Amino acid sequence: MKRKIIPLLIASTAFIAGCDQLSNTNSASSEPVVNKADAIAVVNGHYIAKATLEKLEKEIAERSHGQVFPKEKLIEELIQRELLVQDAEQKHLEKSAEILAQLDSAKKTLLTQADVQDFIKANPVTDAEIKAEYDSKVAGENGTEYKARHILVKTEDEAKKIVTELDKGGDFAKLANKYSLDGKEAQNGGDLGWFAPSQMVAPFSEALVKLEKGQYTKTPVKTQFGWHIILREDSKAQTPPPLDAVKEQLMPFLQRKKVQTMIENLRKQAKVEILVPLTDDVKPAPVAEQPVAEEVVVEEVKDKDGKVVAEEVIIKEEVIKDKSAGAKPAEAQAAPVVEAVPAAAAQTEVKK
């Protein structure tokens, strides 16, 4: 079984390594010299470097979450790969238009990655930039967190009937499991956990903050997701973590912002002419109009204790499909429409 798994794990590196082999064939003077002492095997007079094996072992460990494969198996895979490369060279496959196009594509991918890494190395994120990001996006988020439950249904009439049941002493969690579009599968009683009001759609958060502890909305709240009955269970003051606890987690946000700025500057300086239409001439067949909502997808930044302290937010357009009693929540129908930006942390299922 392991012999079958290994080729899949090295598939991504095999092509790049093959690119090296083919490019070296076209320029013998540029081919790195591998001494016998630095090799793990020799195949038809061609040495396979120890560094190649070390790179493969590292990549497999990363991809397989630390799983280790026998060294002899990895060496055998490298030998088989070398045999295939040599066979391809004998057939002059490196000269085919298809392979040349793939090599060019791989080269461009490697160069884009190398340019980004070179820029990051030359423009490191400073402590002052991290402190400024912390002050504006983490420490500046002092406020109130809320713990709440909700029941989500399709129509106002449904919501009003549930409010009537609650007024008669109905259990909120049980009614959420029975009626809520969000709760029937999770069976979590409509629990949303702790979150900041900014992480909810405006009508939801505005209604929530007006409630007292233990109160629920007597009037159903309408959002693009449907009609909500909201129960405020508790609230507490937010306490931001210290800078040192989130310093390393904030670094990727700032690196991405720097790279994005660099790319935007290159775009402004470049002379670019788009030669194809940006819209298709063929009109799609008419479809029934459906309401469109926005969904927030977040990438969390956590402190050393695992608490979420900041997020990267991506807004997606989402078509709200008709839901039957057992239907699943609406699925995203479009790609992200705005760039990612940091935001205050919160965990929720109802997002902008």
Domains of the chain, earliest start first? 2-111 (no CATH), 142-237 (3.10.50.40)
pLDDT, tens digit (0-9, with 9 covering 90-100), for 212-261: 999 999 999 999 999 999 999 999 987 778 889 889 889 999 999 999 99
Does the pLDDT value for residue 76 go beyond 50? yes
pLDDT, tens digit (0-9, with 9 covering 90-100), for 304-344: 566 555 554 443 444 433 333 333 333 333 333 333 333 33
- The H or E element containing residue 336 is strand 332-336
CA angle 193, 198, 200 (to 5 degrees): 55
Per the CB < 8 A criterion, the answer to whether 153 and 181 are in contact is: yes
Global pTM reads 0.49
Quick one: pLDDT at residue 238? 79
Of 331, 306, 320, give the one whose Cα is nearest residue 222: 320
DSSP state of 216: B
- Torsions phi, psi of 149, nearest 5? -125, 160
Half-sphere exposure of 319 toward its Cβ, with a 13 Å CA cutoff? 9
- Could you give the percent of the chain with pLDDT greater than 90? 53
Most confident range (mean pLDDT) of 1-5, 111-115, 199-203, 293-297 is: 111-115
Over the chain, what is the mean pLDDT? 77
Neighbours of 35 (CB within 10 A): 8
pLDDT, tens digit (0-9, with 9 covering 90-100), for 115-152: 999 999 999 999 999 999 888 877 765 678 899 999 99
Per the CB < 8 A criterion, the answer to whether 238 and 145 are in contact is: yes
